[in-house]
Every structure is written in structure tokens, then in C-alpha cells.
Amino acid sequence: MRQAHAMMAFMPDSVDDDFLGQCPQLQVIGAALKGFDNFDVAACSRRGVWFTIVPDLLTMPTAELAVGLMLALARNIGPGDRWVRSGHFQGWRPTFYGSSLTRATVGILGMGRVGCAIARLLMGFDTKVIYFDPQPLDSEQEHFLQARCATLEEVLGKSDFVISATPLNHLTRHLINPRTIAAMRSGSFLINIGRGSVVDELAVAVALDSGHLAGYAADVFEMEDWALEDRPRSIAPALLVQKDNTVFTPHLGSAVDCIRKEIALEAARNIIQALAGRKPQGAVNQVE
């Protein structure tokens, strides 16, 4: 990177001031991602480096996966699949009864692009959507999405499903913790498709063992948040024990062939714009 004028970055990457100090010719970082908590944007600005993201293309694939994880948990798809493969299935029996999204109350933590996209998809299930966000939607958006803003306590206490779609920052780290889990409705499901460290994984493992949480599904994990020096270096072993009430995917939020190609192309366009002396379309900082 010492001779590079541009860099394309992906989810496993992290950039801090020390790294930037070793790249004297760097002008732009084109990040092929949406959430940029692993990157020191302020340091980029101080050193005259554009930092760009791809804000829109990951939204719908991530929302689709959130609904898929909800269905997998509620309808016991994982345990059912394992039962069929075991050779014990001999035809229908009244087993693996679960829950339904239809007419369920779904609480969304974080009503940004992904949160709104999830609410839009859930309209087809006749769900009741309540959400918590410090910046509520306007009344027109709420009416269109059939969603209502509520306090964190109400969202946790009244929801059959709670979806974490909030970005990671100093206010949201371990937003889901022993205290807030205790405030959740007993027998509810928790789904995390935002950032791993919004959820205290050890607290979730305890709540699953006690039966307070009916299930947990995640596409993101604490150990992925590279910028946090005290992050765990692996997924909590207590979560990885084979359980019928957990579903985990390896950060598949944007894992759609055609979408990944478009994400990389947009990151490349941002780089080309910066090297041409223009403000990149996806810039999240300002360079003098």
C-alpha cells in the first residue's frame, strides 16, 4: 500500500490512523460495504483521504436474509432438515410445531434503510411492526410501512420477534444485554443482522439455556468487529453448541452474486471519481 493511490476495502478490513500513516500517496478508500464502524473516517479526513461506501445495494439482500432467519427459527426448518436427513422420518407426525410470522408483533431496533426494508417485506405477513430509533420516521413513512415508533422498553416487552438492525457505535454496543434481554417477552425470538457487538453473545447463550429466549439467529458476530480492541476473538462457544433454537449464517447479508458484482463496481466508480479530482458519489467524509 505504500505506493498506492487508491484502495478497495471489504468487510474483513480495518483502517486506522497508523495504517494511513504508512500510505503517504493514498487519496481514496473505496469500501465495498455499507456499515463502516471498522474504519477511522476522522483519520481519513485529517490525512486528506476520501472514504466512500456503497449505501443502498446491500439493503434488500440483508432484509431478505432477516426474514429468512425469522422463518427458519419460527418454523423449525433447521431441526426439521436434520430429522429428515437422519433417516428417522417415516411420514407426518405432530412434531416440530413452531411459531408463525403471520399476525405476530415484530420489533425492529434501528429504522434505517435495512429496518425499513424489513418492515416492507413483513407487510406480506400481516405483522404488527413497532420500532425503536432515536430518529423516528415521519408520519408518511410510518403510514406506508404500517409501523409505529415506540420506546425501547415497549419494543422489547411486546414483540414476538426482535430484530437488531442498528449500526454499531458507543451507544449501541451491547444494547442487547442481560438487562434488556430480561425485559424481552418470555418465549420471544431475537435476530441479529446488523452488527455483532450490538448483542452480548454470552448473555444470549444464558437466556437460551434458561428458556427466556425461544431462539436466536445471527448473521453477524462480535468477533467480526475488528476496530474494537476488546472484542472476543471467536464466537462464544456456548452459542455454537448444537441447539435446535439457533440458526447462524456466515455474514451472508449481501451474498447475492449479481449484487456483490454491483457493489464492487460502485466502489470502483467511487475510486475513479476521486482520482479524477471529483467528490465521490459515496463519500462519507469531506476532503479539502
Which residues have a catalytic role annotated?
195, 224, 251
Spatial separation of the C-alpha atoms in residues 97 and 80, rounded to whole Å: 10
Taking the alpha carbons of 72, 76, 80, 83 in that order, is the dihedral positive or negative? positive
DSSP 62-95: HHHHHHHHHHHHHTTHHHHHHHHHHT---S--S-
Residue 254 CB partners (closer than 8 Å, separation 6+): 57, 58, 61, 62, 260, 263
Only one residue has cell 426439521, namely: 80
250 phi-psi bin (left φ>0, alpha ψ -120 to 50, beta other): beta
For residue 6, report the phi and psi dihedrals to the nearest 5 degrees.
Answer: -145, 155
DSSP, collapsed to helix, strand or coil, labels residue 192 as strand
Q: Where are the beta strands (DSSP E) in the chain?
A: 6-9, 28-31, 50-52, 105-109, 128-132, 147-149, 161-164, 188-192, 213-218, 246-248
